[in-house]
């Protein structure tokens, strides 16, 4: 994990505009949010999945950074006053607090568009691969997945009638879509076959839901100092969460079921998935 995270950090530094490139305030804000640390789960999954299929050089690195650009843009926008209105992210002030609301908005916009420029530019020598990567990321980040899940999440706030199906729709798209895309991007760079990609998609969807369930549990049980972001925000906002809908014990049970489902899907891939299996098991036990 440390090795892959180090590669991701190097890739972020390499593939983002320099902080002093004009307009410097915008590029500084982009780097501020991208280089704030964090678990780097999504780009690590891109690299680890590519390695399953023999890609040990940097061919998957632009795809990994592109995915992290989209993820970070979504966090910047999610923290804005018009959305979750949060002051803390990854243990330090959110972008709109460190800069200002307009700069944060533009930094998010710029990271989103930069992601697609990275894919188009770095995979231009293989047009079939470039099209597949662009289509994958566009689908995961679009109105039916990431953004659609965020919209449904906002609509579900203070909705006493929200159902388990509503909750699953929100998080299969707001959270799991990007983790599914991480597996798919890595597999595409590795030229995996369709059965392997299909199994990895299942694993990604389940891991994404586990990640969200654990997030909901931690929001209800951990401190802001441990989390690196404001704890208890979901309850204050009246959000529909796994904890609110099912209670802590049942939420933990669902996370265990999804973890086992993800591990079973990984076992269907004809490659050495031990790292991914171990990482999947550790996600359910994380404390931040």
Q: Could you read off the pLDDT of 262-284 as tens digits, one per residue? A: 999 999 999 999 999 999 999 99
Higher-pLDDT residue of 108 and 155 is 108
- What 3-state DSSP class applies to 239? coil
- What 3-state DSSP class applies to 93? strand
Give the per-residue pLDDT at 201: 98
Secondary-structure percent of the chain, ordered helix, strand, coil, rounded to 5:
70, 0, 30
Q: Could you read off the pLDDT of 182-235 as tens digits, one per residue? A: 999 999 999 999 999 999 999 999 999 999 999 999 988 876 666 665 656 666
- Picking from 25, 18, 31, 32, the residue whose alpha carbon sits closest to that of residue 103 is 25
Band of residue 8 on the pLDDT scale cut at 50, 70, 90: very high
Give the per-residue pLDDT at 254: 95
Give the per-residue pLDDT at 273: 98
Give the per-residue pLDDT at 160: 76
Name 88's bridge partners: 93
Residue 175, pLDDT > 70, answer: yes
Interacting residues of 47 by C-beta distance below 8 A, sequence separation 6+: 4, 7, 8, 60, 61, 64, 186
Give the per-residue pLDDT at 209: 95
Give the per-residue pLDDT at 228: 65
Which regions of the chain does DSSP assign to beta strands (E)? Answer: 88-89, 92-93
Give the per-residue pLDDT at 162: 84
Give the per-residue pLDDT at 37: 87
Average pLDDT of the residues in 148-166: 87
Average pLDDT of the residues in 2-7: 97
Tell me whether residue 70 is exposed, middle or buried, using C-beta atoms within 10 angstroms of its C-beta: 0 to 12, 13 to 18, 19 or more.
buried
Average pLDDT of the residues in 163-172: 92
Higher-pLDDT residue of 225 and 48 is 48
Give the per-residue pLDDT at 240: 80
Band of residue 91 on the pLDDT scale cut at 50, 70, 90: confident
What are the Cα distances from residue 230, in Å, to 87, 104, 142, 226, 240? Answer: 7, 18, 27, 10, 17
Query: At 247, phi and psi to the nearest 5?
Result: 85, 160
Distance CA 79, CA 63 (A): 25
Omega of the bond leading into 226 within 30 degrees of 0 (cis)? no
State the alpha helices, DSSP H only, in 123-232: 127-141, 146-156, 164-174, 176-189, 194-221, 224-227
Give the per-residue pLDDT at 231: 59
Distance CA 170, CA 125 (A): 37
Residue 157, pLDDT > 90, answer: no
Q: Are strands 92-93 and 88-89 parallel, antiparallel or unpaired?
A: antiparallel
Q: What is the average pLDDT value for the chain, to the nearest integer?
A: 93
Band of residue 237 on the pLDDT scale cut at 50, 70, 90: low
- Picking from 5, 2, 80, 77, the residue whose alpha carbon sits closest to that of residue 35 is 5
Give the per-residue pLDDT at 206: 97
Tell me whether residue 39 is exposed, middle or buried, using C-beta atoms within 10 angstroms of its C-beta: 0 to 12, 13 to 18, 19 or more.
middle
Give the Cα-Cα-Cα angle 221, 93, 217 (nearest 5 degrees): 15
Interacting residues of 242 by C-beta distance below 8 A, sequence separation 6+: 167, 212, 213, 216, 217, 251, 254
Q: Could you read off the pLDDT of 110-142 as tens digits, one per residue? A: 999 999 999 999 999 999 999 999 999 999 999
Distance CA 50, CA 188 (A): 8
């Amino acid at each position: 994990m440390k090795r892959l995270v180090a590669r991701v950090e190097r890739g972020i530094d390499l593939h983002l505009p320099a902080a002093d490139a004009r307009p410097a305030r915008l590029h500084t804000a982009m780097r501020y949010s991208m280089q704030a640390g964090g678990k780097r789960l999504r780009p690590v999954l891109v690299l680890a999945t590519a390695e399953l299929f023999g890609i040990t050089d940097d061919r998957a690195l632009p795809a990994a950074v592109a995915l992290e650009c989209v993820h970070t843009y979504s966090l910047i926008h999610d923290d804005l006053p018009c959305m979750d209105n949060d002051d803390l992210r990854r243990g330090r002030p959110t972008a709109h607090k460190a800069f200002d609301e307009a700069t944060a908005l533009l930094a998010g916009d710029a990271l989103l568009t930069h992601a697609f420029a990275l894919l188009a530019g770095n995979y231009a020598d293989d047009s079939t691969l470039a099209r597949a990567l662009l289509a994958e990321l566009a689908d995961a980040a679009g109105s039916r997945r990431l953004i659609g899940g965020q919209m449904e999440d906002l609509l579900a706030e203070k909705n006493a009638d929200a159902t388990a199906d509503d909750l699953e729709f929100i998080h299969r798209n707001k959270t799991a879509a990007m983790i599914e895309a991480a597996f798919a991007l890595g597999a595409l760079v590795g030229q995996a076959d369709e059965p392997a990609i299909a199994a990895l998609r299942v694993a990604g969807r389940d891991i994404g839901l586990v990640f969200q369930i654990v997030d909901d549990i931690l929001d209800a049980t951990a401190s802001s100092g441990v989390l690196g972001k404001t704890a208890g925000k979901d309850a204050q906002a009246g959000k529909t969460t796994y904890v609110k809908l099912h209670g802590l014990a049942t939420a933990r049970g669902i996370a265990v079921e999804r973890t086992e489902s993800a591990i079973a899907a990984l076992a269907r891939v004809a490659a050495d998935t031990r790292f991914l299996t171990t990482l999947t098991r550790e996600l359910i036990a994380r404390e931040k």
